[in-house]
A and B are shown apart, each in its own frame.
Chain A
Amino acid sequence: GEDVEQSLFLSVREGDSSVINCTYTDSSSTYLYWYKQEPGAGLQLLTYIFSNMDMKQDQRLTVLLNKKDKHLSLRIADTQTGDSAIYFCAESMITGRRALTFGSGTRLQVQP
């Protein structure tokens, strides 16, 4: 079955890089996602990666995938106070049920 795990909390200083980590258990071909949720808001899709990729970069965001260890990370360069939010890692299969399995979310706090 699918299981996605994340650490609960990360605190960084403004201008530093943030790295949010996630592990997943499903060994099938899959999509892996990063979502951002600000207080009182829905989930905003930041980026996603297919499991045959190693890396994806989009402006300040870099996603790294270690397939051997089933480890996914999201790096935010030059972290800003506006990046403070909860970040969810999620996984979905490419066949069968397409629903997302979520981690519990990592709360990122950016100190000025």
Chain B
Amino acid sequence: DVKVTQSSRYLVKRTGEKVFLECVQDMDHENMFWYRQDPGLGLRLIYFSYDVKMKEKGDIPEGYSVSREKKERFSLILESASTNQTSMYLCAAGTSGGGEQFFGPGTRLTVL
């Protein structure tokens, strides 16, 4: 019954490293999203994509980029990781008409 998977549950990287977070969905949904979750700040939208090769900035896109080469896969890229990007990263997928949005299990990233 797996719907959204993320490549890693836990990740530790060093400042300045390039980091790839992968997300795959098996529901054939058009929309995919990347959020980060921080204590006291809730979930905030980083980027989203409504179609292959299409992307839109969310509320906090600085320091991140994304890639969507195939419908089922949405990647979040930290070009040069910094300590303030230590967080829980959550990927989600949903239909273009709204309604259900399913989340992956999350990746807890620590940048040292």
Min CB distance B3 to A, Å, is 10
Interface 1/0 per residue, B48-61 and A, CB below 8 Å: 10100000101000
Q: Total number of A-B contacts with CB less than 8 angstroms? A: 56
Q: Which of B42, B99, B104 has the most CB of A within 10 A?
A: B42
Interface size in chain B (residues, C-beta < 8 A): 26
Q: Which of B43, B45, B58 contacts A88 (CB 8 A)?
A: B43
* B62 interface hit (Cβ, 8 Å): no
Contact B98 A98 (CB under 8 A): yes
Known: A98-B96, A99-B33. A42 touches B90 (CB 8 A): yes
**Least CB distance, B21 to chain A, in whole angstroms:** 13
From known contacts A41-B106, A42-B90, infer whether A92 and B43 are also in contact, taking CB-CB under 8 Å: no
B-facing mask of A96-109, CB < 8 A → 1, else 0?
01111011110000
Cβ of B80 within 8 Å of any chain A Cβ, yes or no, is no
- Contact indicator A42/B103 (Cβ below 8 Å): yes
Q: Which residues of B contact A31 (CB under 8 A)?
A: 98-99
Query: Residues of A with Cβ closer than 8 Å to B?
Result: 31, 33, 35, 41-45, 48, 88, 92-94, 97-100, 102-105
The 4 closest A-B pairs by CB, nearest first: A43-B103, A42-B105, A102-B43, A42-B106
B interface residues (Cβ-Cβ under 8 A, vs A): 31, 33, 35, 40-43, 45, 48, 50, 56, 58, 90, 92, 94, 96-106
